[in-house]
């Protein structure tokens, strides 16, 4: 058996909409097989994982809380990946955004003012953007691979946070727990609805997605991103600077990751602790691809991936399945998304042994006709 690809004359519109759906369906099928292998009733497990959280007010709020950072980060990453710039250190930019955004409420812990929250959010954005600026700078001036540098900086940021909350920022009244002082109310993102704890971070995420979508769709900058992404040479001929594009993409995605970091702290947690993210920065990479590198797609994809977090907690609680299934589901989903994307540009033919490799008659004609 052999698989052959035949290039389509153009990208298939049908499959660019359908491929994420197929990918999700395949993930569910393989998820069922996995639950079966774990000795659990697959239907019950899938129901608990994907359906039940949608009919529970508490989980819907949790869904929005988890989706907010995923969407914010993925929107920025979509722009990066579209222009073929590989920032995979969003987890670190998230962490630094959380740290820098927390400077004011940690040092001036008694100060309460309506200005506090905007200051924190802006500092969070600045922190994330500056941290993302390091791989951008190194790429532009030293030709350093941004994949490796941005990733290495994740470990550095996490260790720095660990040092801060165990050392200089530790709450002196916190019974030696490694965490900072609780933030004052004015430093907290308010809840959106009376029914639960979902905070305005989700609204910020939607706003960010809309803004970036508008930029990509209607502005010259968005056009530039797409041209450089499709062909660096074409971009150069058009007079677009790929160096400026590296700066733009890293600062934008880093800023959004930083915003996600400080929103998570001021919305969901209320203080800094050694662990502030269940891998949002890496999961957002999946969100970006599942959303077809489109900011609006990232909203849907962010909700889907948030559901895997909630569902994972759910099956752990109700069925005693390890919460590690979350990560496995996420990994599988990315695999299937990437393999289904092949359908957009190629026709896939499975050829069974014995047949010749020549195309069946009629096939080439069909291609010319379209």
User: What is the closest distance, in whole angstroms, from the C-beta atom of residue 155 to other proteins in the complex?
Assistant: 5
Residues 6+ apart with CB under 8 A from 226: 82, 83, 216
Q: Which is nearer to other proteins, 46 or 116 (CB)?
A: 46
Comparing CB distances to other proteins, the nearer of 149 and 171 is 149
Closest to other proteins by CB, 104 or 286:
286
CB of 19 to other proteins, least distance (A): 11
* Closer CB to other proteins, 277 or 330, in the complex: 330
- Min CB(199)–other proteins separation in Å: 27
Name the residues that contact other proteins, by CB under 8 A.
Answer: 3-7, 81, 86, 88, 138, 142-145, 147-149, 151-153, 155-156, 159-160, 162-163, 166-167, 282, 285-286, 289, 322, 324-332, 334-335, 338-339, 341-342, 346, 348, 357, 359
Q: Give the nearer residue to other proteins in terms of CB position, either 271 or 336.
A: 336
Query: Which residue in 289, 303, 282, 285 sits closest to 338, CA to CA?
Result: 289
307 vs 325 by CB, closer to other proteins: 325
Contact between residue 287 and residue 301 where contact means Cβ atoms under 8 Å apart:
yes
Q: Which is nearer to other proteins, 162 or 182 (CB)?
A: 162
Cα distances (angstroms) measured from residue 216 to each of 19, 76, 293, 304: 22, 11, 11, 23
Q: Are 161 and 180 in contact (CB under 8 A)?
A: no
The distance of closest approach from Cβ of residue 154 to other proteins in the complex, given in angstroms and rounded to an integer, is 8
Minimum distance from residue 253 beta carbon to other proteins (Å): 15
Polymer length in residues for the chain: 370
Q: How far is the CB of 2 from other proteins (least distance, A)?
A: 9
Smallest separation, CB 302 to other proteins (Å): 16
Strand-pair partners of 347: 6
């Amino acid at each position: 058996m052999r698989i052959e690809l035949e290039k389509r004359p153009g990208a298939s519109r049908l499959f660019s909409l359908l491929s994420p759906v197929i990918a999700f369906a395949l993930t569910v099928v393989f998820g069922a097989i996995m639950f079966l292998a774990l000795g659990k009733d697959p239907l019950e497990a899938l129901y608990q994982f994907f359906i039940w959280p949608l009919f529970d007010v508490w989980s819907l709020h949790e869904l929005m809380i988890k989706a907010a950072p995923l969407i914010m980060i993925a929107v920025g990453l979509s722009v990066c990946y579209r222009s073929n710039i590989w920032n995979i250190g969003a987890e670190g930019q998230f962490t630094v955004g959380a740290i820098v955004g927390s400077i004011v409420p940690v040092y001036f812990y008694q100060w309460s003012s309506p200005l506090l929250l905007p200051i924190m959010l802006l500092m969070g954005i600045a922190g994330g953007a500056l941290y993302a600026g390091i791989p951008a700078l190194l790429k532009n001036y030293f030709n350093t691979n941004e994949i490796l540098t941005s990733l290495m900086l994740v470990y550095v940021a996490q260790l720095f946070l660990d040092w801060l909350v165990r050392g200089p920022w530790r709450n002196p009244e916190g019974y030696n727990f490694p965490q900072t002082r609780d933030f004052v109310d004015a430093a907290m993102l308010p809840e959106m609805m009376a029914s639960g704890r979902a905070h305005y971070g989700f609204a910020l995420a939607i706003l960010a997605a809309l803004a970036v979508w508008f930029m990509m769709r209607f502005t010259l900058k968005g056009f530039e991103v797409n041209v450089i992404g499709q062909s660096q040479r074409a971009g150069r001929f058009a007079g677009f600077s790929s160096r400026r594009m590296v700066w733009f993409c890293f600062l934008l995605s880093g800023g959004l990751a930083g915003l996600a970091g400080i929103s998570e702290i001021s919305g969901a947690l209320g203080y800094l602790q050694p662990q502030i993210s269940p891998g949002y920065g890496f999961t957002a990479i999946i969100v970006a691809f599942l959303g077809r590198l489109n900011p609006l797609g990232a909203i849907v994809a962010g909700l889907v991936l948030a559901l895997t977090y909630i569902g994972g907690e759910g099956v752990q609680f109700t069925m005693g399945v390890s919460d590690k299934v979350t990560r496995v589901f996420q990994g599988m989903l990315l695999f299937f998304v990437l393999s289904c994307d092949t359908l957009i540009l190629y026709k896939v033919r499975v050829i069974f042994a014995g047949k010749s490799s020549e195309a069946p008659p009629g096939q080439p004609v069909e291609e010319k006709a379209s």
